[in-house]
Structure 1
């Protein structure tokens, strides 16, 4: 075959190629805005989550310290354990302080959301001196009781466990039980009486509750939707307005009677004690209330 001349090579013409694509800077700004908005949303949701988990710390300040026992006040007592959970172990630690006459009424003490039951011993002494049996105990998250930290729901359950202990293991009828509450414990005592109409009486000393308004004023909670996230409310005023249980309402103030007490339903005995007033006045009011509403069986 005859030799054919080689085909000429065709070289690309770079002068006619399309220019490279240029990213629109507006798209970059939009993408950056989306990333920043997503990061802000994640940060906000994290703040909301942390608030929801730790909100109990805004209204409760538990302590694990037991600084004194009834023995330090020359009171006979027995340490008791109750409130068995799913593990079969009792979670609540308390003191049974018997009165001089076992058949007299029994007080379930629901102490405030600060400290531990050892801080409530002076009030326990006053109740004992009024010839009452006393059960003083710590909620979960307080003192020697189990649990990591308290919440309103857990504390309400602990109050129910205390009533079950008194009526079950101690064999004391609801009609011989008095619910006592101070601080945040007032809400728990009022709920106990609301749920168990047979309870003989309710005693509240310097009660506290209805915490949502107070929390709204806290700078730590102004960034989150309180109405959706806050649930440690400890309602009190509404419960007292509709509760027919006889009530002794004690406040230590030089001002007007707190609104949640003045609006409480009858029957009630309202007592105002000046701060630092001696125990004689308190004991006299307590004695008058018991003689009127809680007759003591010999």
Structure 2
């Protein structure tokens, strides 16, 4: 049985305007299982950034809904990667539980470290809500300078108990 977190991905709709934030570039990278992910890389307004932040957003949205976070961090001197998990925004694939989300987190980490040349000690993993599970998983296996968990979940089972209170407990406990 695969561990499934409740998710409500919002895909990009071609009829909606897609506004790239100032000082941002569209970026693409691929997960270990071949899923192509989309993100925005925002550069800080400082010559030498304080650090680089990978922002793992929450459920029920996509990176366009958290562009303000990237703008605020960039204006504070950080480079920032905002990205969408599989099945969200412009990213390919379908949501498939924690395993897929964790592969997405690994791919974002590898993009920043391998392709952008950021040293792990200058990397901040910042997870919000659903993103806390992904950020914590990446931080448990890879080096980073800091881990920020905002409005975190204690476990997939505890989240399921809140979102699906009518479901018998043993149906979602793995």
TM over 0.5: yes
- 1:181 is aligned to 127
TM-score, length of structure 1 as denominator length:
0.51
Q: 1:146 to 1:221 in 2, by over 3 A?
A: same
Higher relative contact order (CA 8 A, sep 6+): 2
2:145 matches 1:195: no
Flag the 1:209–1:121 CA change in 2: closer, same or farther, 3 A: farther
Compute the RMSD of aligned alpha carbons: 2.5
> Radius of gyration: which is bigger?
1
1:109-161 CA-partner distances (Å, limit 9, x unpaired): 10012211111112212211210000000010111111122411111111111
**Match 1:126 to one of 61, 65, 72:** 72
Q: Which segments of 5 or more consecutive residues in structure 1 lack a partner in the other structure? A: 1-51, 232-298
TM-score normalized with structure 2 length: 0.84
Match 2:56 to one of 97, 110, 114: 110
Which one has the bigger helix percentage? 1
Secondary structure, in 3 states, of the residue corresponding to 1:94? strand
Which position in structure 1 is the counterpart of 2:82? 136
Aligned to 2:111: 165
When the two structures are aligned, how many residues end up with a matched partner?
A: 169
SS state at 1:108 partner: strand
Q: Does residue 69 in structure 1 map to residue 19 in structure 2?
A: yes
Unaligned 5+ residue runs, structure 2?
none
Deviant stretches of 4+, over 6 Å = none
Conserved? CA contact 2:28–2:37, under 8 Å: yes
Q: 1:1-298 maps to which residues of 2 (within 5 A)?
A: 56=4, 59-65=6-12, 68-71=18-21, 75-84=22-31, 91-101=36-46, 103-104=48-49, 105-196=51-142, 198-216=143-161, 218-222=164-168, 225-226=170-171, 230-231=173-174
